[in-house]
Structure 1
Amino acid sequence: MAIGSASAILGWDNRVDDATITVGSSPERASALQDRSLGEAWESDGTDPADTWIEFAFDKPTSARLLSLHGCNVTVQSQYQVRVWEDAGKTDQVYDSAVTDVCPPLIPMAARDWSRPALWTGKPTSREWRRRPRQIIHPLPAVRRGRVWRIDVLDDLNPDATIRVARPFLGDALQVANTIDLGSELSFRTFAQVQEGPSGQREGSESRPARSTRFSLNWLNEAERGLVIDLLTTMGETGEVVWIPHPDDGPKLQRESYLGYLRSRSVRRVRNATETSGLSAEIRELV
């Protein structure tokens, strides 16, 4: 099934750390892109498009179905473009996403309030957008092989006067033929510290909650079962995955996808012999 249909996507096998990374500016900070800590980030020298691109070069053509940037500071008006070349000299282009909005209209026209700023754009206000976890998620329509992968971040009016990216993801993607059984369970893990004084006064600090998703797949064919086993064996408890529950829904693509890790999982035979298998998994967000 092609990327972009209704079934959820699970990105895995991040190959960013195998690449030689080149950036448009501030090359001394490019090593932060290969640091898994989201507290470390590459920051461009400015917001001119000549400064805000990232390239991943490999010794030989590398296959991938998903490119994403996490821990970003992009604004609600930002755009991006993904391009892939099969050769190191970038003469044989095999993919071009064209310029794409990071944030498409999120509010359907029928649900828009005429008194709110989002009436015409359908997008959240800049204040609302800044409070979200910001990222760029780009599932490719099919597998692409390339020696050079490039993403341009276009956000020249960013008030921070820089583009920040903490962690890229470039890797494979599992998208099964049958969608999630009975939907999925989304919960939020809070990180807070609260102290109570003798008078009952409460003081505390809190950071952004991390999302956690539990789901089950009960109709895996033999090929999908093999991919799931490879994924679980490769990723373990610490490997990075990207969860994309609604790849065909533009507003939900950026809002509900996230970078995380597999917390609990099992693969089981639903029936005997060559009948279908199932997967139960939990994905926790990295913050």
Structure 2
Amino acid sequence: MAACLLCWPNYADAASYSGGVWQTPLVNLRDRFLTKVARTAGLSLEATRFDVDLSRDRTIKVVAIPGHNLSPSARIRVRLFADAARTILRADSGWLDAWPAIFATADLEWEADNWWSGRVLAEDVARLPRSYLYVLPRQAFCRYLSVDLDDQANPAGYIDLARLVVAPGWEPLFNFSYGVGLGWESATLAETSLSGAEHFEERPPSRVVSFRLDYMNRVEATNQALAMTRALDVSGEVYFVFDPANLLLMQQRSFLGRLRQLSALEHVACNINGMAFEIKEVVA
């Protein structure tokens, strides 16, 4: 198990976009409301691609699309370049599944359509987080990105993308302590009538993770943990990756969120510092 990743700031929020053919503009990827999407005009490979200019060289560890309508057969390719002509390649994900395998063969019935692949089926999509995440093997330093999408069989006839995250990643020297909690928090409203019948107003749930980093030295604690809480407050966004080494579960345990509260930096012992974190997923 690798240490978690806390990814911020999101350089894509101030980037410029070009390329592809879009019904609604690509700049919607900068809007923090996930319901304001960028929508392609068709499904051709020429229409479903875009380029990103971060305005200057940046350190990049993750590229994520939190919110999309990609089908189970969709593929995504992310490339990072050092020059505007896109001839000096810094990183290339290759064509990857937008919905990677999430099931172990031992967990599936022999007759299941995805027994061999462990891939997501169309019937699984509704109950899974619609988020794509690419974690670079090592951080790259560059300014330009190209994102290509291949989903020519999408039944909607177009592709919706809610946000783009391009960010560096803080990987703590020591991972979170035992006792970390990851769960779903319901936002559904429930009321009971005079007869005792219950009525519900269903709303999308959010993932919430709570953990402690207990073994930070004073430099890491001050320049990373304390600086992050100051920069983000409770409104800024951070992309949380539970375990970047576990590809089978990474999509389900990683999400775009915000700090629910700001915790104090605790001096546990000589040059040993700790801090508690609680991150709530952004779902709309």
With structure 1 as the length reference, what TM-score do the two structures score? 0.92
* 1:242 and 2:225 are equivalent in the alignment: no
Residue equivalent to 1:181: 177
Q: Which of 225, 229, 233 is the aligned partner of 1:232?
A: 229
Which shows bigger deviation, 228-237 or 212-221?
Answer: 228-237
* 1:57 and 2:53 are equivalent in the alignment: yes
On the 8 A contact 1:102/1:254 being kept in 2, the answer is: no
C-alpha displacement of 1:195: 3.6
Which shows bigger deviation, 226-235 or 200-209?
Answer: 200-209
* 1:263 and 2:268 are equivalent in the alignment: no
1:91-121 deviation per Cα after TM superposition (whole angstroms, max 9, x unaligned): 2111111111223322222332113222222
- Structure 2 residue matching 1:114: 3-state secondary structure: coil
- Structure showing the higher strand proportion among its residues: 1
Residue equivalent to 1:136: 132
Q: Which of 96, 111, 116 is the aligned partner of 1:100?
A: 96
On the 8 A contact 1:45/1:162 being kept in 2, the answer is: yes
Give the counterpart letter for 1:260 in structure 2: G
On the 8 A contact 1:71/1:134 being kept in 2, the answer is: yes
On the 8 A contact 1:73/1:163 being kept in 2, the answer is: yes
Which shows bigger deviation, 188-197 or 161-170?
Answer: 188-197
Q: 1:223 to 1:80 in 2, by over 3 A?
A: farther
Q: How many residues align?
A: 281
Q: Which of 80, 97, 113 is the aligned partner of 2:76?
A: 80
- Structure 1 residue matching 2:228: 3-state secondary structure: helix
On the 8 A contact 2:15/2:54 being kept in 1, the answer is: yes
Residue equivalent to 2:161: 165
* 1:200 and 2:200 are equivalent in the alignment: no
* 1:44 and 2:44 are equivalent in the alignment: no
Give the counterpart letter for 2:157 in structure 1: A
What are the residue-to-residue correspondences of 1:109-148 with 2, within 5 Å?
Answer: 109-148=105-144
- Calculate percent identity across the aligned residue pairs: 24
Which shows bigger deviation, 81-90 or 124-133?
Answer: 124-133
On the 8 A contact 1:61/1:87 being kept in 2, the answer is: no
* 1:69 and 2:65 are equivalent in the alignment: yes
- Structure showing the higher helix proportion among its residues: 1
C-alpha displacement of 1:183: 4.2
Give the counterpart letter for 1:235 in structure 2: L
On the 8 A contact 1:84/1:149 being kept in 2, the answer is: yes
Runs of 5+ unmatched residues, structure 2: none
Q: 1:27 to 1:223 in 2, by over 3 A?
A: farther
1:177-221 deviation per Cα after TM superposition (whole angstroms, max 9, x unaligned): 211110411232212233433333333221221011100111113
Q: Which of 208, 212, 217 is the aligned partner of 1:216?
A: 212
1:46-96 deviation per Cα after TM superposition (whole angstroms, max 9, x unaligned): 222211123210332222211100111112222211111111121211111
- Structure 1 residue matching 2:80: 3-state secondary structure: strand
Partner Cα separation in structure 2 for residue 90 and residue 27 of structure 1:
26
Partner Cα separation in structure 1 for residue 218 and residue 20 of structure 2:
44
Partner Cα separation in structure 1 for residue 138 and residue 244 of structure 2:
13
With structure 2 as the length reference, what TM-score do the two structures score? 0.93
On the 8 A contact 2:190/2:199 being kept in 1, the answer is: yes
Which shows bigger deviation, 177-186 or 36-45?
Answer: 177-186
Partner Cα separation in structure 2 for residue 76 and residue 267 of structure 1:
43
- Structure 1 residue matching 2:55: 3-state secondary structure: strand
